[in-house]
Amino acid sequence: MSDTVKLTCLACSAANRVPVAKLSASPKCGVCGAKLSDGKVATLDPATLAKAVKTDQLPLLVDFWAPWCGPCRMMAPQFEQVARDLAPRARLAKINTQDFPQVSQKFGIRGIPLLILFQNGREIGRLTGARPAAEIAAFVRETANTPA
């Protein structure tokens, strides 16, 4: 991995280049000032998801969920824990498939919850069903190329 990584601001969709050495210092977006890697789960819309998938060099794990899904709601606290544990080496986000049904079609989603891991412009792995935090974190660590 190079000395910098490209990250999409999950708040305003602006592209940012961040020195790897500064990832743990809570870097902020150069446009809107939002934290780029704060250990929180970001809520995405389809446009921001598309840009982040295409641009981001850090692993981005996205939870495809819906409010009516019991297992999705059960897994939410586990997913939030993983976001805190993996920051700043990976970022976690979620997208509501009920509000944005087109993402289900685009990514071939047949059931939720579904976690898809993206990095460097491509999908690098999927994890289906509600999972405990330890399994989610292990999946990211074993599948992605994360900075030290």
Rounded Cα gap, residues 129 and 107, in angstroms: 16
Nearest to 127 by CA among 141, 113, 144: 113
Rounded Cα gap, residues 72 and 75, in angstroms: 5
| Cβ–Cβ under 8 Å, residues 61 and 14 | no
**Lookup result for tokens 């289900």:** 104
12 is catalytic: no
3-state secondary structure of 115: strand
Nearest to 127 by CA among 75, 91, 89, 85: 75
The catalytic residue among 9, 12, 29, 72 is 72
69 is catalytic: yes
Which stretch of DSSP H or E encloses residue 92? strand 91-96
Q: What amino acid positions are annotated as catalytic residues? A: 69, 72
